[in-house]
Chains A and B, each alone.
Chain A
Amino acid sequence: MAKPPSDIRYTKEHEWVRMDGDIATIGITDHAQEQLGDVVFVELPEIGRDVAADEACAVVESVKAASDVYAPLTGKVVETNQTIIDDPSIVNSDAEGEGWFFRIEIDDTDAYDALMDAAAYDEYVETLD
């Protein structure tokens, strides 16, 4: 499949992050949805919640298992994607687009720069098999 835009960064926990100003949009990677299989349930953080980097703040469940979704950066939750609550299968069909999970307002953009770019993430995923 086509490479995602280069302004997206990735974590070892298989989240992706896209920055628009100081707002970070976060979701799970295409690799992650592929590994999870059919997503049937999503739980999202409450708006206004302060989250620390690496804190579990959302849940994604497939038919078989539940997984935590971590905040890749420290900040405050400002928006969540209610569409995937109603139709969790969007996480499978468009993980790195319409299947986003939540948005946080962050104060430290350096931390974003420290995350993996697409090439580094691809390389990381390669090492997992």
Chain B
Amino acid sequence: MIENALPDDPTPKPLKTVPLDAWHRALGARMVEFAGYAMPVQYQGVLAEHLHCRSQAALFDVSHMGQATLTGATAAAALEHLVPGDMLALKPGRQRYTLLTNEAGGILDDLMVANLGQERLFLVVNAGRKDIDFTHIAANLPSGVQLQPHEDRALLALQGPAAAAVIGRIGPEAAQLPFMGVAAVAVAGAPCLVSRSGYTGEDGFEISVPADSAQVVAERILDQPEVVPAGLGARDSLRLEAGLCLYGNDIDELTTPIEADLAWAIGKRRRTAWDFPGATAIRDQLERGAARRRVGIRPDGRAPARALTGIVAGDGTEAGTITSGGFSPSLSAPIAMGYVRKDLATVGTALHLMVRGKPLPARVVPMPFVPHRYAR
């Protein structure tokens, strides 16, 4: 029996499934629990899937993520009450990364917002946060703006240098999108909402598709010779190499956009009005510097330093904590990111990582670990 309960949880809940659940199993996926869903973590293996995505293209099912439409003449203005991004400047056909912040400046979630035109914004939020996000957004809308979650849609991510060539064969209009462009187009004959974006650092597309057409689209993509299916394991190692945050690990309600090195997500206009949740705390950190900062870290040896590993400064004082860490298949070496004291956040700073009680030498490095190759 599949359960997602903690060991001491007396009431195990059955896992939710994505529309392609049976299809993944038929492909030989190993399914694991993630954010309450049974999700494919790997097919042939994380290493091979990861490297294939970097060299050609990989197809990920990320249907566990939350999709919703915000509708109404003042939808963008309404969303600006909850995020620090410039939503009013987001043009139709464009997508932007932003953050839901709380009054303390902490991050409730990170999300993508696309302007679909006709007074509609399309949101994609993290699986583990969607209930919280949608409740929070719905509770803060003025009359005339509605939030409609889309539980009836799947979300596929086609990522890799061959992604554009692949999508060009089955949804030519999608291949014309610029980076962070979004459009309602047909893919394999199905009515999809496609954005040119992703979570791997590679060129690629995220394809929102009605659940009943998901398999047709996924199969047509996988029929292309460049594409292999990839699971959440490779998705995690790819995003870590790209220096991208994982909500719950690298950012959460107790981290601010400044600490997380996400100040770029605060719109220029928003920095004059300071009228988003947590603006006071965030402004203060922006002007005076945050006490800690998210940085890239390379351990010197071969041992990976995982999340929650303690970081110690050269003088033996406490320096911070690793929030994501593992093995980089592209570099064939361990990589990590974490928060360190601001005096230690400079590239080149020597640190020690406390792995199994032993201090392993490491140093602060720039991110991304592997250069982004977005279509520009």
Contacts and interface: CB of A to CB of B under 8 A. Distances in A.
B167 to A, nearest CB: 27
A61 B356 CA distance: 13
B46 A62 contact: yes
A33 to B, nearest CB: 11
B327 A63 contact: yes
Given A59-B356, A63-B233, A63-B329, A41 B46 contact: no
Contacts of A40: 47, 304, 327
Contacts, number: 41
Interface in B42-63: 42, 45-48, 50
A66 interface: yes
A41 B303 contact: yes
Interface string B111-129: 0000000000000000000
A91 to B, nearest CB: 13
A43 B237 contact: no
B306 A66 contact: yes
Nearest to A56: B356
A43 B303 contact: yes
Given A37-B46, A38-B45, A41-B327, A63 B303 contact: no
A64 interface: yes
A38 B43 CA distance: 12
B361 interface: no
Interface in A35-84: 37-38, 40-41, 43, 59, 61-66
B202 interface: no
A126 to B, nearest CB: 15
B302 interface: yes
B236 interface: yes
B326 interface: yes
List of 8 A-B pairs having minimum Cβ-Cβ separation, nearest first = A38-B47, A40-B327, A63-B46, A63-B327, A64-B233, A38-B45, A41-B302, A37-B46
Interface of B: 41-42, 45-48, 50, 233, 236-237, 302-304, 306, 326-327, 329, 334, 356
Given A41-B304, A63-B326, 4 more contacts: A37-B233, A40-B327, A41-B302, A61-B304
